[in-house]
Amino acid sequence: MNPIQTVLPANKRQMMKLWIKHPLATFTANRQDAGNGVVIDQNTGKISELVPSGQSPKKPYDQSYDASGQVLLPGLINTHHHLYQTLTRAYPPALNKKLFPWLQTLYPIWAKLKPDMLFNATQLGLSELLMSGCTTVADHHYLFPESLTEAIDIQVSAADSVGTRVMLTRGSMSLGEKDGGLPPQSTVQNEATILEDSERLIHRYHQSQEGAKVQIALAPCSPFSVSTELMKETAKLARKHNVRLHTHLAETHDEDNFCLERFGLRPLDYLESVDWLANDVWLAHGIHFNEDEIRRMGQAGLGVCHCPTSNMLLASGVCRTKELESTGVHVGLGVDGSASNDGSNMMQEVRQALLINRLRYAADEVTHLDALYWATKGSAKVLGRQDIGELAQGKQADLALFSLDELRFSGSHDPLAALVLCGGHKAAAVMCAGEWLIKNETLLHLDQHAIMKAHQLSAQALVA
Protein backbone atom coordinates (compact mmCIF):
# COMPACT_ATOMS: atom_id res chain seq x y z
CA MET A 1 0.00 0.00 0.00
CA ASN A 2 1.40 3.38 -1.02
CA PRO A 3 1.07 5.84 1.91
CA ILE A 4 1.55 8.93 -0.29
CA GLN A 5 -1.62 10.89 -1.02
CA THR A 6 -1.93 13.75 -3.51
CA VAL A 7 -4.13 16.61 -2.34
CA LEU A 8 -3.63 19.06 -5.20
CA PRO A 9 -4.59 18.53 -8.87
CA ALA A 10 -3.15 15.39 -10.43
CA ASN A 11 -1.78 17.32 -13.39
CA LYS A 12 0.70 19.12 -11.12
CA ARG A 13 3.98 17.97 -12.65
CA GLN A 14 6.44 18.59 -9.85
CA MET A 15 5.96 17.63 -6.23
CA MET A 16 6.85 20.63 -4.09
CA LYS A 17 5.66 20.37 -0.47
CA LEU A 18 5.27 16.98 1.21
CA TRP A 19 3.76 16.59 4.68
CA ILE A 20 5.07 13.52 6.49
CA LYS A 21 2.17 13.29 8.91
CA HIS A 22 1.02 11.59 12.10
CA PRO A 23 4.18 9.65 13.08
CA LEU A 24 3.96 7.32 16.07
CA ALA A 25 6.84 9.25 17.60
CA THR A 26 9.40 11.81 16.45
CA PHE A 27 12.97 12.42 17.57
CA THR A 28 14.16 15.82 16.38
CA ALA A 29 17.57 15.83 18.19
CA ASN A 30 16.87 19.39 19.34
CA ARG A 31 13.79 19.04 21.63
CA GLN A 32 11.53 20.90 19.23
CA ASP A 33 7.97 19.65 18.84
CA ALA A 34 7.39 17.82 15.57
CA GLY A 35 4.86 15.40 17.03
CA ASN A 36 2.64 15.64 13.97
CA GLY A 37 5.46 15.40 11.49
CA VAL A 38 7.41 17.64 9.14
CA VAL A 39 6.84 19.37 5.82
CA ILE A 40 9.51 18.89 3.18
CA ASP A 41 10.18 21.32 0.35
CA GLN A 42 11.35 18.89 -2.29
CA ASN A 43 12.47 21.69 -4.61
CA THR A 44 15.08 22.88 -2.13
CA GLY A 45 15.62 19.52 -0.37
CA LYS A 46 15.03 21.19 3.00
CA ILE A 47 12.60 20.95 5.87
CA SER A 48 10.19 23.88 5.55
CA GLU A 49 8.10 23.32 8.68
CA LEU A 50 7.82 21.27 11.86
CA VAL A 51 4.23 20.35 12.66
CA PRO A 52 3.60 20.30 16.43
CA SER A 53 1.50 17.63 18.11
CA GLY A 54 -2.21 17.94 17.33
CA GLN A 55 -1.70 20.54 14.61
CA SER A 56 -1.65 20.70 10.82
CA PRO A 57 0.79 22.55 8.55
CA LYS A 58 0.41 26.32 8.59
CA LYS A 59 1.05 26.63 4.86
CA PRO A 60 -0.39 24.67 1.90
CA TYR A 61 1.21 21.40 0.89
CA ASP A 62 0.95 19.30 -2.25
CA GLN A 63 1.16 15.73 -1.01
CA SER A 64 1.20 13.78 2.23
CA TYR A 65 2.90 10.64 3.47
CA ASP A 66 1.04 8.71 6.14
CA ALA A 67 3.59 7.87 8.86
CA SER A 68 0.98 6.85 11.43
CA GLY A 69 2.60 3.46 12.00
CA GLN A 70 6.20 4.70 11.93
CA VAL A 71 8.84 6.41 14.06
CA LEU A 72 10.44 9.49 12.49
CA LEU A 73 14.15 10.29 12.98
CA PRO A 74 16.71 12.55 11.33
CA GLY A 75 18.85 10.59 8.91
CA LEU A 76 21.52 8.78 10.94
CA ILE A 77 25.15 9.83 10.48
CA ASN A 78 28.03 7.34 10.52
CA THR A 79 31.24 9.19 11.37
CA HIS A 80 33.76 6.38 10.84
CA HIS A 81 33.78 3.43 8.47
CA HIS A 82 36.03 1.40 6.17
CA LEU A 83 33.72 0.38 3.37
CA TYR A 84 36.31 -1.80 1.62
CA GLN A 85 36.24 -4.12 4.63
CA THR A 86 32.78 -5.42 3.71
CA LEU A 87 34.78 -7.82 1.52
CA THR A 88 36.45 -9.54 4.51
CA ARG A 89 33.67 -10.09 7.03
CA ALA A 90 34.05 -13.06 9.35
CA TYR A 91 37.35 -14.00 7.66
CA PRO A 92 38.55 -17.09 9.60
CA PRO A 93 42.31 -16.28 9.89
CA ALA A 94 41.46 -12.89 11.45
CA LEU A 95 38.96 -14.09 14.03
CA ASN A 96 39.67 -13.78 17.78
CA LYS A 97 42.72 -11.52 17.47
CA LYS A 98 43.77 -8.27 19.11
CA LEU A 99 44.03 -5.13 16.97
CA PHE A 100 47.68 -5.31 15.86
CA PRO A 101 47.75 -9.03 14.93
CA TRP A 102 44.28 -8.61 13.39
CA LEU A 103 45.67 -5.87 11.14
CA GLN A 104 48.77 -7.86 10.30
CA THR A 105 46.57 -10.77 9.23
CA LEU A 106 44.32 -8.68 6.99
CA TYR A 107 46.75 -6.18 5.45
CA PRO A 108 48.16 -8.71 2.91
CA ILE A 109 44.60 -9.54 1.83
CA TRP A 110 43.55 -5.89 1.52
CA ALA A 111 46.71 -5.15 -0.47
CA LYS A 112 45.14 -7.10 -3.35
CA LEU A 113 42.19 -4.71 -3.72
CA LYS A 114 41.26 -3.83 -7.30
CA PRO A 115 39.11 -0.93 -8.56
CA ASP A 116 36.00 -3.02 -9.23
CA MET A 117 36.29 -4.58 -5.78
CA LEU A 118 36.36 -1.19 -4.09
CA PHE A 119 33.40 0.06 -6.15
CA ASN A 120 31.35 -3.00 -5.23
CA ALA A 121 32.33 -2.78 -1.57
CA THR A 122 31.49 0.92 -1.37
CA GLN A 123 28.17 0.54 -3.16
CA LEU A 124 27.08 -2.40 -1.02
CA GLY A 125 28.24 -0.84 2.26
CA LEU A 126 26.47 2.46 1.56
CA SER A 127 23.31 0.61 0.54
CA GLU A 128 23.43 -1.51 3.68
CA LEU A 129 23.86 1.59 5.83
CA LEU A 130 21.07 3.39 3.97
CA MET A 131 18.69 0.54 4.72
CA SER A 132 19.41 1.06 8.41
CA GLY A 133 18.37 4.73 8.18
CA CYS A 134 21.84 6.18 7.60
CA THR A 135 21.99 9.10 5.14
CA THR A 136 25.54 10.41 5.72
CA VAL A 137 28.69 8.28 5.86
CA ALA A 138 32.28 9.24 6.65
CA ASP A 139 34.54 6.63 5.12
CA HIS A 140 38.22 6.29 5.97
CA HIS A 141 40.08 4.77 3.04
CA TYR A 142 43.85 4.54 3.44
CA LEU A 143 44.92 1.70 1.11
CA PHE A 144 46.42 2.83 -2.19
CA PRO A 145 48.35 -0.04 -3.80
CA GLU A 146 49.53 0.56 -7.37
CA SER A 147 46.32 -0.89 -8.79
CA LEU A 148 44.15 1.44 -6.69
CA THR A 149 45.69 4.89 -6.78
CA GLU A 150 42.33 6.53 -7.64
CA ALA A 151 40.42 4.90 -4.81
CA ILE A 152 38.56 8.03 -3.70
CA ASP A 153 37.43 8.76 -7.27
CA ILE A 154 35.95 5.27 -7.36
CA GLN A 155 34.15 5.88 -4.10
CA VAL A 156 32.69 9.15 -5.33
CA SER A 157 31.19 7.28 -8.28
CA ALA A 158 29.79 4.53 -6.06
CA ALA A 159 28.30 7.04 -3.62
CA ASP A 160 26.61 8.88 -6.47
CA SER A 161 24.91 5.65 -7.52
CA VAL A 162 23.46 5.18 -4.03
CA GLY A 163 22.46 8.79 -3.33
CA THR A 164 23.70 9.24 0.22
CA ARG A 165 25.93 12.04 1.51
CA VAL A 166 29.57 11.09 2.05
CA MET A 167 32.61 12.53 3.79
CA LEU A 168 35.38 10.64 2.00
CA THR A 169 38.60 10.86 3.96
CA ARG A 170 41.74 10.55 1.89
CA GLY A 171 43.70 8.26 4.15
CA SER A 172 47.40 7.58 3.97
CA MET A 173 50.12 5.20 5.11
CA SER A 174 53.76 6.04 4.53
CA LEU A 175 55.47 3.65 6.96
CA GLY A 176 55.55 0.04 5.84
CA GLU A 177 57.02 -2.97 7.56
CA LYS A 178 60.57 -1.97 6.54
CA ASP A 179 60.09 1.36 8.35
CA GLY A 180 58.74 -0.12 11.58
CA GLY A 181 55.08 0.15 10.57
CA LEU A 182 52.45 -2.58 10.30
CA PRO A 183 51.29 -2.51 6.65
CA PRO A 184 53.05 -4.26 3.75
CA GLN A 185 55.25 -2.03 1.59
CA SER A 186 52.87 -2.53 -1.35
CA THR A 187 50.15 -0.57 0.46
CA VAL A 188 52.15 2.53 1.42
CA GLN A 189 52.93 5.62 -0.65
CA ASN A 190 55.62 8.26 -0.51
CA GLU A 191 54.66 11.52 1.15
CA ALA A 192 54.85 13.71 -1.94
CA THR A 193 52.39 11.43 -3.77
CA ILE A 194 50.01 11.45 -0.79
CA LEU A 195 49.99 15.23 -0.46
CA GLU A 196 49.66 15.82 -4.21
CA ASP A 197 46.71 13.45 -4.51
CA SER A 198 45.07 14.89 -1.40
CA GLU A 199 45.11 18.37 -2.93
CA ARG A 200 43.83 17.03 -6.26
CA LEU A 201 40.85 15.40 -4.56
CA ILE A 202 39.97 18.53 -2.60
CA HIS A 203 39.98 20.63 -5.76
CA ARG A 204 37.97 18.08 -7.73
CA TYR A 205 35.34 16.86 -5.29
CA HIS A 206 35.06 18.81 -2.04
CA GLN A 207 31.82 20.74 -1.66
CA SER A 208 31.88 23.38 1.03
CA GLN A 209 28.38 24.77 0.57
CA GLU A 210 25.29 24.00 2.63
CA GLY A 211 23.70 20.73 1.55
CA ALA A 212 26.98 19.26 0.27
CA LYS A 213 26.66 15.67 -0.93
CA VAL A 214 30.42 15.00 -1.22
CA GLN A 215 33.10 16.31 1.09
CA ILE A 216 36.77 15.42 1.40
CA ALA A 217 38.82 15.21 4.59
CA LEU A 218 42.47 14.25 5.08
CA ALA A 219 43.15 11.25 7.25
CA PRO A 220 46.54 9.64 7.94
CA CYS A 221 45.63 6.16 9.10
CA SER A 222 47.24 6.31 12.54
CA PRO A 223 50.36 7.52 14.36
CA PHE A 224 52.01 4.16 13.72
CA SER A 225 51.50 4.14 9.94
CA VAL A 226 52.72 7.60 8.87
CA SER A 227 55.71 9.79 9.63
CA THR A 228 55.67 12.81 11.91
CA GLU A 229 56.44 15.02 8.93
CA LEU A 230 53.41 13.71 7.03
CA MET A 231 51.14 14.39 10.02
CA LYS A 232 52.36 18.00 10.10
CA GLU A 233 52.18 18.58 6.36
CA THR A 234 48.71 17.03 6.16
CA ALA A 235 47.46 19.44 8.81
CA LYS A 236 48.92 22.39 6.90
CA LEU A 237 47.31 21.25 3.66
CA ALA A 238 43.91 20.68 5.28
CA ARG A 239 43.92 24.16 6.80
CA LYS A 240 45.04 25.73 3.56
CA HIS A 241 41.86 24.37 1.94
CA ASN A 242 39.59 24.45 5.01
CA VAL A 243 38.86 20.73 5.15
CA ARG A 244 38.74 18.53 8.22
CA LEU A 245 41.31 16.10 9.65
CA HIS A 246 40.71 12.56 10.87
CA THR A 247 42.71 9.64 12.25
CA HIS A 248 42.54 6.65 14.59
CA LEU A 249 43.74 7.43 18.11
CA ALA A 250 43.81 5.86 21.57
CA GLU A 251 42.02 2.70 20.49
CA THR A 252 44.13 0.20 22.45
CA HIS A 253 46.81 0.05 25.13
CA ASP A 254 49.17 -1.37 22.47
CA GLU A 255 48.89 1.96 20.67
CA ASP A 256 49.75 3.81 23.88
CA ASN A 257 52.86 1.68 24.25
CA PHE A 258 53.83 2.12 20.60
CA CYS A 259 53.64 5.91 20.84
CA LEU A 260 55.66 5.95 24.07
CA GLU A 261 58.35 3.75 22.54
CA ARG A 262 58.50 5.52 19.16
CA PHE A 263 57.91 9.16 20.13
CA GLY A 264 58.37 9.24 23.90
CA LEU A 265 54.83 10.63 24.08
CA ARG A 266 51.34 9.42 24.83
CA PRO A 267 49.02 9.47 21.77
CA LEU A 268 47.32 12.79 22.59
CA ASP A 269 50.63 14.48 23.39
CA TYR A 270 51.92 13.29 20.05
CA LEU A 271 48.80 14.64 18.38
CA GLU A 272 49.43 18.03 19.93
CA SER A 273 53.10 17.97 18.87
CA VAL A 274 52.05 17.71 15.20
CA ASP A 275 49.42 20.49 15.49
CA TRP A 276 46.38 18.21 15.47
CA LEU A 277 44.86 19.24 18.80
CA ALA A 278 42.25 21.52 17.21
CA ASN A 279 38.54 21.86 16.47
CA ASP A 280 38.87 20.73 12.85
CA VAL A 281 39.93 17.24 13.97
CA TRP A 282 37.88 14.18 14.83
CA LEU A 283 39.25 10.91 16.15
CA ALA A 284 38.08 7.35 15.71
CA HIS A 285 37.61 5.38 18.95
CA GLY A 286 39.22 7.71 21.51
CA ILE A 287 39.05 5.17 24.32
CA HIS A 288 42.19 5.41 26.44
CA PHE A 289 42.46 9.01 27.60
CA ASN A 290 43.16 10.17 31.14
CA GLU A 291 41.38 13.04 32.91
CA ASP A 292 43.86 15.71 31.87
CA GLU A 293 43.78 14.58 28.26
CA ILE A 294 39.98 14.68 28.18
CA ARG A 295 40.05 18.21 29.58
CA ARG A 296 42.53 19.33 26.91
CA MET A 297 40.47 17.71 24.16
CA GLY A 298 37.40 19.60 25.31
CA GLN A 299 39.26 22.90 25.39
CA ALA A 300 40.46 22.27 21.84
CA GLY A 301 36.98 21.31 20.59
CA LEU A 302 37.88 17.90 19.14
CA GLY A 303 35.33 15.34 18.01
CA VAL A 304 35.36 11.64 18.88
CA CYS A 305 33.63 8.87 16.96
CA HIS A 306 32.46 6.19 19.40
CA CYS A 307 32.50 2.74 17.72
CA PRO A 308 30.86 0.42 20.27
CA THR A 309 30.51 -2.81 18.29
CA SER A 310 34.04 -2.69 16.89
CA ASN A 311 35.44 -1.91 20.32
CA MET A 312 33.63 -4.91 21.77
CA LEU A 313 34.65 -7.28 18.99
CA LEU A 314 38.34 -6.38 19.29
CA ALA A 315 38.11 -6.05 23.10
CA SER A 316 39.59 -2.56 22.86
CA GLY A 317 37.72 -0.95 25.75
CA VAL A 318 34.83 1.47 26.33
CA CYS A 319 34.88 5.10 25.21
CA ARG A 320 34.36 7.60 28.06
CA THR A 321 31.51 9.35 26.30
CA LYS A 322 30.01 11.27 29.22
CA GLU A 323 33.34 12.61 30.46
CA LEU A 324 34.25 13.67 26.92
CA GLU A 325 30.94 15.47 26.43
CA SER A 326 31.18 17.19 29.80
CA THR A 327 34.39 18.96 28.74
CA GLY A 328 33.09 20.04 25.33
CA VAL A 329 34.21 17.18 23.09
CA HIS A 330 31.69 16.39 20.36
CA VAL A 331 30.69 12.70 20.46
CA GLY A 332 29.25 10.86 17.49
CA LEU A 333 28.76 7.24 16.47
CA GLY A 334 30.46 5.06 13.89
CA VAL A 335 30.00 1.52 12.64
CA ASP A 336 33.71 1.14 11.84
CA GLY A 337 34.91 -1.34 9.27
CA SER A 338 32.81 -4.38 8.57
CA ALA A 339 35.81 -6.58 9.30
CA SER A 340 35.79 -5.38 12.92
CA ASN A 341 32.01 -5.18 13.20
CA ASP A 342 30.84 -7.55 10.49
CA GLY A 343 27.81 -5.41 9.85
CA SER A 344 27.04 -1.92 8.54
CA ASN A 345 23.91 -0.97 10.46
CA MET A 346 23.58 2.35 12.24
CA MET A 347 20.37 1.54 14.12
CA GLN A 348 22.05 -1.50 15.62
CA GLU A 349 24.98 0.74 16.53
CA VAL A 350 22.63 3.06 18.44
CA ARG A 351 21.46 0.14 20.57
CA GLN A 352 25.02 -1.08 21.10
CA ALA A 353 26.07 2.41 22.17
CA LEU A 354 23.34 2.46 24.81
CA LEU A 355 24.20 -0.98 26.12
CA ILE A 356 27.98 -0.66 26.28
CA ASN A 357 27.68 2.70 28.02
CA ARG A 358 25.53 1.04 30.68
CA LEU A 359 28.63 -0.98 31.59
CA ARG A 360 30.45 2.25 32.48
CA TYR A 361 27.65 4.51 33.70
CA ALA A 362 24.54 4.11 35.84
CA ALA A 363 21.25 3.22 34.15
CA ASP A 364 19.88 6.74 34.63
CA GLU A 365 23.01 8.44 33.26
CA VAL A 366 22.82 7.23 29.64
CA THR A 367 19.46 6.85 27.91
CA HIS A 368 18.18 5.79 24.50
CA LEU A 369 17.80 9.51 23.73
CA ASP A 370 21.53 10.04 24.35
CA ALA A 371 22.38 7.25 21.92
CA LEU A 372 20.03 8.66 19.28
CA TYR A 373 21.56 12.11 19.75
CA TRP A 374 25.08 10.73 19.21
CA ALA A 375 23.93 9.14 15.95
CA THR A 376 22.32 12.36 14.67
CA LYS A 377 23.17 15.86 15.85
CA GLY A 378 26.23 14.68 17.80
CA SER A 379 27.63 13.04 14.68
CA ALA A 380 26.86 16.14 12.61
CA LYS A 381 28.92 18.23 15.03
CA VAL A 382 31.77 15.71 14.80
CA LEU A 383 31.82 16.24 11.02
CA GLY A 384 31.58 20.01 11.40
CA ARG A 385 28.14 20.21 9.76
CA GLN A 386 25.26 22.39 10.92
CA ASP A 387 22.83 21.58 8.09
CA ILE A 388 22.13 17.91 8.90
CA GLY A 389 21.56 15.70 11.94
CA GLU A 390 18.30 17.21 13.21
CA LEU A 391 14.73 17.94 12.23
CA ALA A 392 14.39 21.71 12.13
CA GLN A 393 13.14 24.35 9.73
CA GLY A 394 15.75 25.12 7.10
CA LYS A 395 17.81 21.97 7.72
CA GLN A 396 18.43 19.39 5.03
CA ALA A 397 15.55 16.97 4.49
CA ASP A 398 17.43 13.83 5.55
CA LEU A 399 15.18 11.50 7.52
CA ALA A 400 14.40 7.88 8.28
CA LEU A 401 11.09 6.20 9.15
CA PHE A 402 10.88 2.89 11.00
CA SER A 403 7.82 0.66 11.25
CA LEU A 404 7.10 -1.13 14.52
CA ASP A 405 5.13 -4.00 13.02
CA GLU A 406 7.52 -6.86 13.80
CA LEU A 407 7.17 -9.45 16.54
CA ARG A 408 10.05 -7.84 18.41
CA PHE A 409 8.01 -4.67 19.01
CA SER A 410 4.77 -6.28 20.11
CA GLY A 411 3.77 -5.18 23.61
CA SER A 412 5.96 -2.07 23.58
CA HIS A 413 4.50 1.17 24.99
CA ASP A 414 6.99 3.92 24.09
CA PRO A 415 7.61 3.80 20.31
CA LEU A 416 10.88 5.75 20.40
CA ALA A 417 12.33 3.69 23.22
CA ALA A 418 11.07 0.51 21.56
CA LEU A 419 12.92 1.33 18.35
CA VAL A 420 16.20 1.26 20.27
CA LEU A 421 15.54 -1.23 23.07
CA CYS A 422 13.67 -3.84 21.03
CA GLY A 423 16.31 -3.89 18.31
CA GLY A 424 15.03 -1.89 15.35
CA HIS A 425 17.40 -2.39 12.44
CA LYS A 426 15.65 -1.81 9.10
CA ALA A 427 14.14 1.46 7.90
CA ALA A 428 10.78 1.43 6.13
CA ALA A 429 11.54 4.63 4.24
CA VAL A 430 14.57 6.91 3.93
CA MET A 431 14.91 10.35 2.36
CA CYS A 432 18.10 12.29 1.61
CA ALA A 433 18.06 15.90 0.43
CA GLY A 434 14.30 15.63 -0.06
CA GLU A 435 14.53 12.58 -2.34
CA TRP A 436 13.15 9.18 -1.40
CA LEU A 437 15.89 6.55 -1.60
CA ILE A 438 13.99 3.78 0.20
CA LYS A 439 10.29 2.98 0.39
CA ASN A 440 8.63 -0.16 1.70
CA GLU A 441 12.05 -1.31 2.97
CA THR A 442 13.28 -1.43 -0.64
CA LEU A 443 16.03 0.47 -2.46
CA LEU A 444 14.34 2.55 -5.14
CA HIS A 445 17.24 3.19 -7.52
CA LEU A 446 19.39 0.05 -7.21
CA ASP A 447 18.94 -3.70 -7.58
CA GLN A 448 19.85 -5.11 -4.19
CA HIS A 449 20.39 -8.63 -5.48
CA ALA A 450 22.65 -7.50 -8.31
CA ILE A 451 24.73 -5.48 -5.83
CA MET A 452 25.07 -8.50 -3.56
CA LYS A 453 26.06 -10.81 -6.40
CA ALA A 454 28.80 -8.51 -7.67
CA HIS A 455 30.03 -7.89 -4.12
CA GLN A 456 30.17 -11.57 -3.25
CA LEU A 457 32.22 -12.33 -6.36
CA SER A 458 34.64 -9.56 -5.40
CA ALA A 459 34.94 -10.94 -1.87
CA GLN A 460 35.74 -14.41 -3.18
CA ALA A 461 38.31 -13.09 -5.64
CA LEU A 462 40.04 -10.99 -2.97
CA VAL A 463 40.78 -13.90 -0.64
CA ALA A 464 41.49 -16.45 -3.38
Domain at 256, CATH number: 3.20.20.140
User: Do 423 and 358 reside in the same domain of the chain?
Assistant: no
Question: 367: helix, coil or strand?
Answer: coil
- Identify residue 438 by its one-letter amino acid code: I
Residue 140 CB neighbour total at 10 angstroms: 26
Q: In the prediction, which pLDDT does 151 show?
A: 98
Question: Is 213 a domain residue?
Answer: yes
Q: In the prediction, which pLDDT does 15 show?
A: 63
Q: In the prediction, which pLDDT does 258 show?
A: 86
**CA–CA gap between residue 124 and residue 141 (Å, rounded):** 15
User: Do 18 and 131 reside in the same domain of the chain?
Assistant: no
Radius of gyration of the chain (CA): 22
Q: Consecutive 10-residue runs of the chain (464 residues): their mean pLDDT?
A: 42 73 98 98 97 96 96 98 97 92 92 97 98 98 95 98 98 90 88 98 98 98 92 98 97 89 94 98 97 98 97 94 98 93 96 97 97 98 98 98 98 98 98 98 97 98 96
User: Do 70 and 124 reside in the same domain of the chain?
Assistant: no
Instruction: Return the percentage of the chain with pLDDT > 70, whole number.
Output: 97
Domain carrying residue 61: 4-74+396-443
Question: Is 199 a domain residue?
Answer: yes
pLDDT digits (tens, 9 = 90+) for 297-344: 999 999 999 999 999 999 999 999 999 999 999 999 999 998 889 999
**Do 163 and 149 meet the contact criterion of CB atoms below 8 Å apart?**
no
Question: Is 454 a domain residue?
Answer: no
Question: 307: helix, coil or strand?
Answer: coil
pLDDT digits (tens, 9 = 90+) for 36-54: 999 999 999 999 999 999 9
**CA–CA gap between residue 58 and residue 48 (Å, rounded):** 11
pTM of the complete model beyond 0.75: yes
Classify residue 54 by burial, with Cβ atoms within 10 Å: 0-12, 13-18, 19+.
exposed
pLDDT digits (tens, 9 = 90+) for 151-186: 999 999 999 999 999 999 999 999 988 887 778 888
Structural domain tally of the chain? 2
Question: Is 463 a domain residue?
Answer: no
**Do 253 and 232 meet the contact criterion of CB atoms below 8 Å apart?**
no
